[in-house]
Amino acid sequence: MRTFVRIRESYGSISSEVWTGDTWKNIDASTFNWESFRVPYAEEPTRDGEGIFILRRPLRFSSRQPKPEGIEVFCMTASASLLPAIAECLPALVGDEPCSIELNLSEGIWFDTMTSEDLVAFGRNGVLNENLFASADSHHDRLQSIVSDLHSVPHAELLKVFGSTAAGKELPSDIDVYADTGTLTKPEIEDLSVRLMQLAKRHYGYLDPFLLISGTLYCRNDTATGWIVARYAKEIQSSGDHGIPLVDVVLKECVLDQYRGVRPAKEIDYPSPRQ
């Protein structure tokens, strides 16, 4: 059983609510006991909208394990603009117990090592702990490296980017790239396909290339060692055709940069792909 709370902000007014099993009820943080509002699965709310959090005790997978302490908090979805409201409300709702927080922002940024103390400090000084940005920074650097590598691909002018990157998501999970090879000769197609596959292997899990060759759409195989016919080809081809040219792709700076100190400059040196 778990407790669901919702944090909302409207025209500068912040409120928090708890799910009772059939409706949302306003919370008085000074008297709130989250464990009194745990609900079974059949009575859980729909998880649409933003600012919804799950509170629960850590799970114990064996009776031989010591009983876990503290509270686990999972954010279903919230935008970065809600972060000040979260920092104001959530620590008061969980109280003084140790608390681990997984914060999933709709911009694509995920904090999985946040604590109640981090939120309290942010509410006090308006700056997030720099350690929280390590994962997001590493992921952003990887995506920047992919975009740079794609510019070096033969016939890069044909490449279009689609998916969450083209939609302007702050931190896309990966980069989907597409090319219609109808204007290329067979040797040119081979050059393009070999280089894209090298990059797909180098950036495995972060780059998904698609090539339209003689009317058939191809994607990488599971090991990024060769091309196979793509599933859902019609939908992917449509998205690719309406993608944005690689030259126009600009990865946004992190929307949370306003809440951080100065990020130390660093260089990412990925190994060159094997020929």
Which pLDDT score, from 0 to 100, does residue 210 have?
Answer: 97
Torsion angles phi and psi, residue 53, rounded to 5:
-125, 145
Which pLDDT score, from 0 to 100, does residue 251 have?
Answer: 81
User: Nearest-CA neighbor of 161 among 88, 264, 250?
Assistant: 250
Q: Is the pLDDT of residue 19 over 80?
A: yes
d(CA 2, CA 125): 32
Going by pLDDT thresholds of 50, 70 and 90, the confidence category of residue 171 is confident
Going by pLDDT thresholds of 50, 70 and 90, the confidence category of residue 29 is confident
Q: Is the pLDDT of residue 84 over 50?
A: yes
Side-chain half-sphere CA neighbours of 8 within 13 A: 13
Which pLDDT score, from 0 to 100, does residue 273 have?
Answer: 42
Which pLDDT score, from 0 to 100, does residue 268 have?
Answer: 43
Distance of CA 36 to the CA centre of its chain: 32
In this prediction, residues 217-230 reach a mean pLDDT of 96
DSSP 87: H
Q: Mean pLDDT of all residues in the chain?
A: 87
Q: Is the pLDDT of residue 68 over 70?
A: no
Going by pLDDT thresholds of 50, 70 and 90, the confidence category of residue 274 is very low
Which tokens sit at 2? 């778990």
Q: Is the pLDDT of residue 144 over 70?
A: yes
pTM comes to 0.70
Q: What is the pLDDT of residues 98-131, one digit of tens each?
A: 899 998 888 778 888 899 999 999 999 988 888 8
Domain ranges of the chain: 3-126, 140-248
Which pLDDT score, from 0 to 100, does residue 50 have?
Answer: 78
